[in-house]
Structure 1
């Protein structure tokens, strides 16, 4: 219960590394977050230091992400923050991973088209099917 949930706004820095595993699909990619701030002296905007995160998505989120997002696109990523402390070659390194719960395009910077995926194993009394059937009747 003491997990750190974060929401990051940034850009996809690498391609999607999609893999199938025994427990389901997994996608990994790097995510760049660059804060912008107003320079009061120059009366303009400046970029701060860019932070990079490794984002992990699993199962249905991974499949949908791999088919919907490309390198360079602006995203909003929400998930669990995991900071790793590793030592190798006599050097200590820190890295930050995000186990994604939800990911979407940043609509402040463009448009997106959403297409709902209807799973084949959905029961006939599913609320999604009921709403679709009601819309077709009208």
Structure 2
């Protein structure tokens, strides 16, 4: 499957964590994609229906995007992945929970709406650290 580009705004505050055993960083957030269109009759611009996507990034991509927050305009490049699962209710009935997410290969600020400062990260060796990196000022 080919990578797709998604442009929108981060919903609620992203969650950033390091996996307890591997030390691998993980960033997860919701992305609101809102199409705008021009009403043919009035000529006014209107917001269309909002599409919400779950986004997950790992490793250096997660670490480098960990300073993004709620409402930030972002560009995400990645692939859709089906992470559906089955649950069994107390009465023994099984049902599938549909879960689709974007597995991000790139997460960056949308430079049409926000200015960015590029800071190159030094290459790090795996240390097994369970703390988040210090924010870049």
Q: Normalising to structure 1: TM-score of the pair? A: 0.75
For the residue of structure 2 that corresponds to 1:110, the secondary structure is coil
Alignment of 1:82-97 (within 5 A): 82-85=81-84, 94-97=98-101
For the residue of structure 2 that corresponds to 1:112, the secondary structure is coil
Q: CA deviation at 1:120?
A: 4.9
- The one of 91, 96, 100 equivalent to 2:104 is 100
Aligned to 1:115: 119
Higher relative contact order (CA 8 A, sep 6+): 2
Count of residue correspondences? 118
Name the CA distance, whole Å, in 2 between partners of 1:34 and 1:59: 28
Alignment of 1:1-138 (within 5 A): 3-21=1-19, 22-23=21-22, 24-66=24-66, 68-85=67-84, 94-120=98-124
For the residue of structure 2 that corresponds to 1:27, the secondary structure is strand
Q: Normalising to structure 2: TM-score of the pair? A: 0.75
**Pairwise CA RMSD:** 2.1
Q: Which runs of 4+ in 1 moved over 2 A?
A: 83-96
> When you count helix as a share of all residues, which structure comes out higher?
1
Choose 21-30 or 97-106, whichever is displaced more: 21-30
Aligned to 1:134: none
